[in-house]
Structure 1
Amino acid sequence: MNSINRATIIVLDSVGIGALPDAKEFESEGAATLPHLAKEVGGLDLPNLEKLGLGNIVEVEGLSKVDKPKGAIGKMAEQSNGKDTTTGHWELAGLVSQNPFPTYPNGFPDEIMDKFHEAIGKGSLGNKPASGTVIIEELGEEHFETGKPIVYTSADSVFQIAAHEEIIPVEELYKMCRKARKMLTGEHAVARVIARPFVGELGDFTRTARRKDFSLKPPKKTMLDHLKDAGQEVMAVGKIKNIFSGQGITSDLHTDNNMDGVDKTIDYLKEDNSGLIFTNLVDFDQKYGHRRDPEGYAKALKNFDDRLPEIIEQLEADDLLIITADHGCDPTYKGTDHTREYVPLLVYGANVQAGVDLGIRESFSDLAATITSIFKVEETGYGTSFKQEIFE
């Protein structure tokens, strides 16, 4: 086996492929993001993912099983106690979380909001679970009149603060988020505090790309830390840096949307570098999963598939490409929450044995175990490597 100089992991945020055995405990029984959205739109046209073997992993309308996938294929189960972005990514990086992050289906308690109001020197609006686009329309006029930020949450462990950029400048909004992050500890240690700036007129608001996540720091070292400690580059694309609160990251590129994420990934691939490129493509989840938009989701998948050859074209002989997901967000399912699902595992590279079936992996952390093994760095203590299975 020739050595691997660089690995690229692309997380198709929320592209789950079917409910996990314990999905009922997470109110996700019967969910299946990719198969269900495909059925809803009358089939998907994803020839490049099909060639890699996506249709061999799960039955999806419009995708065929190929005789010999170009890459190794499998699917992974989540071992952590959760179905959110942070939990999923941490497990992909080798950290299994036993305790779920706190959620607030009835809004945040007075003890939290009183501290927050004291910290920012004013009150707030909202304080309830809501869709971000809906709540800014609902409370936008009052926000303009009072200058108070809009606080809301979701089924995820998030404390979100929305503000019009002309009412509360972005840097001031970020300061509010930092204050909230500092106080949300212990039993109220939410996974993420999120700044949600928006612009526009009443009735025609648009959320901007200046969103910023203030995440909890991982409680233990992940594969990112071990790679960085060993002198490897860890290049983050999209919200990866935020998810890991900057830990283990050596450089990062912000993205505005999925296609910008593909551009930035290709930019890194064109450089003379080594180590790990770790990309999150968030639109699938943020724009289409939560908003229950199967048609938009399908188009976003097609857009990524169309550009997959560009990514593959940049791979050197000693490169490795892994495409996976972090949870589900079935746009045909009830509610607007994430869904607890298996995620796809597609592994491609000049040295990868085409058509190898990696089966059902017991944990997302098998990915981290594989990466740390390939780069001969310290392991995280979770997961089973599939390194020997993918290389001859």
Structure 2
Amino acid sequence: MRALLIVLDSVGVGGAPDAAQYGDAGADTLGHIRQHTGLHLPTLCSLGLDRIMGAEGDGEPRASHGRMRECSAGKDSTTGHWEIAGVVLDQPFAVFERFPDALVQAIEREAGTRFLGNLPASGTQIIADMGEEHLRTGCPILYTSADSVLQIAAHEEVVPIGRLYAICEVARRHADAWGVGRVIARPFIGGPGAFTRTPRRHDFSMRPPPTVLDAISAAGLPVKSIGKVADLFAGQGITEAHPTESNAEGMRLTRAVWRDTEAGLVFTNLVDFDTVYGHRRDAAGYAGALLEFDAWLGGFLPDCEEDDLIIITADHGNDPTFRGTDHTREEVPLIVLHKSRRDALGTRASFADIAASLAEFFGVGPWRTGTSFLA
């Protein structure tokens, strides 16, 4: 009764049938990275990645394998993770070019601050453009992107990290009424011309409806999160949280927590693919990060037993060869190791098939959305 769910943040595999509605026709994160870099991932390919990407590969895959399509409207991490956990959103989170004055002023009044910015921007670019004014005025920088995010950036020596988190907590309370999916604290350091973001980012998500994580924890089983998972679910359904600052730390903690887990779910998000390489359109760096994960996975799998359930997937795409710097609407890979099964899982109709499968595995189902691939 031990399961591991690993989300490779933004590692899409192209082909979402509604990609054109999001301006993402032709995006293919993993496919284009492989084309541009010659990337080969021996462990993942041995588990069925080549079949997922439409190639035959060498020999029969050692795992069940397929693809998943997102039912919910959107292409952000919160939407993707919530659907993985069994919540399909009928309406997308709200997206803004500029946040309404009523929202901004309410946050400013309660937090006792004033914001700079309030515009859509790349996080690294806006601190380069407005960081000097921020140093001079002490006012945090407010910005957004194509996703439903309200981001607040501040220099750690100007706005201490605890104060930045407190401002974000105020923003979270007010952002609920406007349908904003996430408020994100974006601390940075350095001086003009050399500002850099620190790893003490923190996501403040809207609380989700009940998920399969709630059902598993209510059954008395631990649900242990690694990376930003607890943030994305506002801590709901999580019994033990392990924040991380990098993929390397996430992989190290996954191995350590897994070895200490006799039963329950370990739920890992590896975020560097998205934040460090996807948004910055660094295909070579993205390929290097995938190689590091592939090598780690090859060394990790011997720690797993035949009765364990191992699921590897993603939450959306972020094609580093595509235009712009935003997420891309794509299908995601699905690799499942359990009892030596080697099923071709096809293209699943919803990310919620993972929730249905976890509910069946832990005996807390049937789940209200999705179809189990363990049947």
Same fold at TM > 0.5: yes
Query: Of 364, 372, 375, which aligns to 2:351?
Result: 364
Instruction: Determine the C-alpha separation between the residues in 2 that align with 1:380 and 1:119.
Output: 40
Pair 1:88-2:80 in alignment? yes
Instruction: Determine the C-alpha separation between the residues in 2 that align with 1:130 and 1:254.
Output: 26
Query: Of 173, 195, 209, which aligns to 2:185?
Result: 195
Instruction: Determine the C-alpha separation between the residues in 1 that align with 2:274 and 2:69.
Output: 19
Whether the aligned pair in 1 keeps the contact of 2:356 and 2:365 (CA below 8 Å) is: no
Instruction: Determine the C-alpha separation between the residues in 2 that align with 1:12 and 1:166.
Output: 33
Q: Secondary structure of 1:185's partner? A: helix
Q: Quote how far apart the aligned CAs of 1:319 are.
A: 1.3
Whether the aligned pair in 2 keeps the contact of 1:71 and 1:346 (CA below 8 Å) is: yes
Tell me what 2:320 maps to: 331
Q: Deviations over 1:232-276 (max 9, x none)?
A: 110100000000000000101111111110001001111142111
Tell me what 2:32 maps to: 36
Q: Secondary structure of 1:387's partner? A: coil
Q: Quote how far apart the aligned CAs of 1:379 are.
A: 3.8
Residue type of the partner of 1:194? I
Q: Quote how far apart the aligned CAs of 1:45 are.
A: 2.0
Whether the aligned pair in 2 keeps the contact of 1:19 and 1:339 (CA below 8 Å) is: no
Query: Of 226, 233, 241, which aligns to 1:252?
Result: 241
Q: Secondary structure of 2:187's partner? A: strand
Whether the aligned pair in 1 keeps the contact of 2:2 and 2:261 (CA below 8 Å) is: no
Percent of aligned positions with the same letter in both sequences?
50
Number of residue-to-residue matches in the alignment: 375
Query: Of 58, 64, 69, which aligns to 1:72?
Result: 64
Whether the aligned pair in 2 keeps the contact of 1:223 and 1:379 (CA below 8 Å) is: no
Whether the aligned pair in 1 keeps the contact of 2:81 and 2:232 (CA below 8 Å) is: yes
Q: Mean Cα displacement is larger for which, 173-182 or 314-323?
A: 314-323
Tell me what 2:299 maps to: 310
Pair 1:144-2:135 in alignment? yes
Instruction: Determine the C-alpha separation between the residues in 2 that align with 1:277 and 1:141.
Output: 42
Pair 1:377-2:364 in alignment? yes
Q: Deviations over 1:188-240 (max 9, x none)?
A: 1211001111111221122111111110000x211100000111110100000
Query: Of 31, 36, 45, which aligns to 1:50?
Result: 45
Q: Mean Cα displacement is larger for which, 25-34 or 51-60?
A: 51-60
TM-score (norm 2): 0.98
Q: Mean Cα displacement is larger for which, 121-130 or 143-152?
A: 121-130
Q: Mean Cα displacement is larger for which, 153-162 or 117-126?
A: 117-126
Tell me what 2:216 maps to: 227
Tell me what 1:289 maps to: 278
Pair 1:299-2:288 in alignment? yes
Residue type of the partner of 1:75? R
Q: Secondary structure of 1:138's partner? A: helix
Unaligned 5+ segments in structure 2 are none
**Are the structure 2 counterparts of residues 25 and 240 from structure 1 closer, same or farther at C-alpha, using a change threshold of 3 Å?**
same
Residue type of the partner of 2:46? K
Pair 1:159-2:146 in alignment? no
Q: Quote how far apart the aligned CAs of 1:59 are.
A: 4.0
Instruction: Determine the C-alpha separation between the residues in 1 that align with 2:274 and 2:84.
Output: 17
Instruction: Determine the C-alpha separation between the residues in 1 that align with 2:70 and 2:176.
Output: 25
Residue type of the partner of 1:76? M
Unaligned 5+ segments in structure 1 are none
Q: Deviations over 1:38-95 (max 9, x none)?
A: 1122x112111111110111147xxx61321010010001011111100000000011
TM-score (norm 1): 0.93
Instruction: Determine the C-alpha separation between the residues in 2 that align with 1:345 and 1:147.
Output: 46
Instruction: Determine the C-alpha separation between the residues in 1 that align with 2:298 and 2:260.
Output: 18
Q: Quote how far apart the aligned CAs of 1:316 are.
A: 2.4
Tell me what 1:209 maps to: 199
Q: Secondary structure of 1:19's partner? A: coil
Q: Deviations over 1:94-149 (max 9, x none)?
A: 110110001112x2121122212212223111111111111111111111110000
Q: Quote how far apart the aligned CAs of 1:378 are.
A: 3.5
Instruction: Determine the C-alpha separation between the residues in 2 that align with 1:19 and 1:115.
Output: 41
Residue type of the partner of 1:143? H
Pair 1:352-2:340 in alignment? yes
User: Structure 1: which 4+ aligned runs deviate by more than 2 Å?
Assistant: none
Q: Quote how far apart the aligned CAs of 1:298 are.
A: 0.6
Pair 1:19-2:15 in alignment? yes
- Superposition RMSD on alpha carbons, in Å? 1.2
Whether the aligned pair in 2 keeps the contact of 1:72 and 1:347 (CA below 8 Å) is: yes
Q: Secondary structure of 1:204's partner? A: coil
Tell me what 1:173 maps to: 164
Whether the aligned pair in 1 keeps the contact of 2:224 and 2:265 (CA below 8 Å) is: yes
Tell me what 1:341 maps to: 330
Whether the aligned pair in 2 keeps the contact of 1:237 and 1:280 (CA below 8 Å) is: yes
Instruction: Determine the C-alpha separation between the residues in 2 that align with 1:230 and 1:72.
Output: 27
Q: Mean Cα displacement is larger for which, 314-323 or 328-337?
A: 314-323
